[in-house]
Structures are given as C-alpha cells and as structure tokens.
C-alpha cells in the first residue's frame, strides 16, 4: 500500500478577500490555520493552509486569496464540491451554527447512502458536511467553539464535474489505483482502499455542461497523496507513459509536487507527506507567523507591506 496513491493530500481554492476567508475557516468552521505563507509564484498574495493540528494530509484546504479577483463559476473540467467528514449526529447543530453566522446552506439530503448538508463559504465555494457510512477515526482539531462532537475530521470526498468521465476514470483506476464503488444517477463514486479516509473521488458526468471559470469561490486544483518523493517520481513516469504533460518535481517547502492536467481538464497535483509543516516552525506555533520560501525571504519587508493585515 505504501507505494500507492494514499487518497487526497490537499485541495486548493480561490478566495476574494483574505480576512473574510480566514475568519470563516478558523472561526465558523473551527479549522486550524496550519501555515500562513505566500503563493510561491505570486508572492504578493497569501497562501493559507487550514487543517487539523499538524496539517495531516487529507485535512488540508488551502487558499489563494486574490484581493478583488471577483466571483468564478463552477462548470465542467473542474473540481466543483468538497466534502468534509462530519461526526454522526452533528448535522442539526451545524445547521444552527450556519444560521447563526448567516452562512448559505441547503437542506440535508442523502447521497450514496450517506447524510449530507450542502453549504457555501462567503465566496460561494461549494462544500458539504457528510456523515460517512464507515466510521472516521481521525482526531479532529477543536477550537473554542467547535468541539469534537461537531468538528470535521478532514476530507470525505471531492467531486469533479466532467462532460465525459471515461478518460478521467481511467487515470483514477489504471494509474492511481482507485476502483468504482457505486453509481447513483450521473454520479460515479471511486475509492482507494490504500487509506481509510479522504479516499473518495466522485465523478459527475454532465455531457451538456458549460466550462467553468476559475476565480473566487472555485477550486484551483486537487492534490493526491504519496508517501515520499521517490514514489512521487515513479508516478511522473506513469503519467508520461499515458502521453500526458507533467511538470518536473517542484519543491513547495512542506511537500514536493508534480502537476498535470487530467484528460477531463481538472488540474491534478501529486504531493508528498515529507517534510511536513513543522519543518520551519514548531507544532505549537503553526500558522502564527508569515513564512516565506528562501527565494523570497530577501523581499520580506516589501511582501509584508503588500499583503493585507490580518486581524486574529
């Protein structure tokens, strides 16, 4: 199992306002700010990482909060919904919490035999709380208001919306080691048995769907997990053998990555567990200070002036 894709590593989305994004995920959702850094390719923009205590793979939702970028649009060729694993019996309490904070939410429903509650973040990013059929034994991060009976455990699943699922499904099953678990209408659920959580990818087939537009409230890319960079580079060869373009290994300080666009149009990343988020600050201090990659450290004063000031 070690050499396999180990489910989801992280998901990266776009926001329009850094303070609003920070407030929603740390205060309403009760997630931990695991890392506060910058977009390595655009250091005038923050890169936020929200997750559990140590930013375990499978819990990490990251954002590029491009100030004033405007609203995007979900559509085909994109990851269109993020599912969070929620404790059994917590849905009513979450409904009440969302009402308290004026968060847009839908009605609870059942999908693939699981209860879910759809909602959106302040930018319109589509999310769901899902009570999984299989018990999720991951330890949740608890905040002052969001305790263990309510706190999410990390990702349950991600949904990709595609005009045709065949080529994407082939990557999932023949390269990444997923298998088709269930079909419900035009939703096809794929799962990996390599891990017990953050293991599900749903493919939603919409032949007449319109292409999406990447801006605030949409997902930029999804990252799959591998144990280390040796395994990472083995997957690079597998992707090249499929005739797809893929980047060289990229050092993101907290993990090593490869990027490629799968045949349905979704930007995929493969990311490593190593070295992790405590490489530049202790566990107790994660997310408190602005961390910059070596190549941008000399510009710290200019970068700090250009970034919006966050109020905790």
Span 251-265, pLDDT tens digits? 999 999 999 999 999
- Of 223, 312, 236, the C-alpha closest to 271 is 223
- Look at residue 47 in the predicted model and tell me its pLDDT: 98
Does residue 87 register a pLDDT over 70? Answer: yes
- Of 257, 75, 57, the C-alpha closest to 155 is 57
- Distance (Å, whole) CA 107 – CA 128: 11
Task: Tell me which DSSP letter residue 173 carries.
Answer: I
- Look at residue 312 in the predicted model and tell me its pLDDT: 86
For 125-163, write each residue's pLDDT tens digit.
Answer: 999 999 999 889 999 999 999 999 999 999 999 999 999
Which CA distances in Å does 4 have to 10, 227, 270, 287, 295?
A: 16, 8, 11, 30, 32
CB count in 10 Å sphere of residue 4: 18
Angle at 124 between CA 120 and CA 128, to 5 degrees: 25
For 201-239, write each residue's pLDDT tens digit.
Answer: 999 999 999 999 999 999 999 999 999 999 999 999 999
- Distance (Å, whole) CA 258 – CA 271: 7
- Look at residue 29 in the predicted model and tell me its pLDDT: 98
pTM of the model: 0.97
Does residue 1 register a pLDDT over 70? Answer: no
CB count in 10 Å sphere of residue 286: 22
The whole-chain average pLDDT of the chain stands at 96
Does residue 2 register a pLDDT over 80? Answer: no
What confidence category does residue 113 fall into, taking pLDDT thresholds of 50, 70 and 90? very high
3.10.180.10, 3.40.50.2300, 3.40.50.1000, 3.40.50.11900: CATH of 8-306: 3.10.180.10
Angle at 256 between CA 251 and CA 257, to 5 degrees: 100
């Amino acid at each position: 199992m070690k050499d396999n894709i180990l489910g989801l590593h992280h998901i990266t989305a776009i926001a329009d306002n850094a303070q609003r994004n920070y407030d929603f995920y740390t205060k309403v959702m009760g997630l931990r700010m695991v890392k506060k850094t910058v977009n390595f390719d655009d250091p005038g923009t923050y890169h936020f990482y929200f997750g559990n205590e140590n930013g375990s793979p499978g819990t990490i939702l990251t954002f590029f909060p491009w100030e004033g970028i405007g609203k995007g649009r979900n559509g085909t060729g994109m990851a269109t919904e993020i599912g969070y694993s929620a404790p059994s019996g917590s849905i009513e309490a979450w409904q009440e919490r969302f009402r308290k904070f004026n968060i847009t939410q839908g009605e609870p429903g059942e999908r693939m035999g699981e209860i879910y509650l759809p909602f959106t973040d302040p930018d319109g990013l589509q999310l769901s709380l899902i009570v999984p059929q299989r018990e999720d034994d991951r330890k949740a991060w608890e905040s002052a208001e969001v305790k263990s009976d309510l706190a999410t455990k990390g990702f349950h699943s991600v949904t990709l919306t595609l005009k045709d699922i065949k080529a994407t499904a082939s990557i999932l099953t023949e390269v990444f080691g997923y298998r088709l678990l269930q079909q419900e209408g035009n939703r096809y659920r794929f799962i990996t048995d390599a891990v017990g959580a953050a293991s599900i990818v749903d493919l939603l087939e919409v032949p007449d769907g319109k292409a999406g537009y990447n801006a605030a409230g949409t997902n930029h890319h999804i990252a799959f997990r591998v144990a280390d960079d040796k395994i990472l580079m083995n997957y690079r060869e597998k992707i090249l053998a499929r005739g797809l373009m893929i980047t060289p290994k990229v050092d993101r300080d907290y993990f090593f990555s490869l990027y490629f666009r799968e045949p349905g149009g979704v930007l995929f990343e493969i990311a490593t567990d190593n070295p992790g988020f405590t490489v530049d600050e202790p566990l107790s201090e994660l997310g408190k200070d602005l961390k910059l990659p070596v190549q941008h450290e000399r510009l710290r004063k200019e970068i700090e002036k250009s970034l919006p000031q966050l109020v905790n």
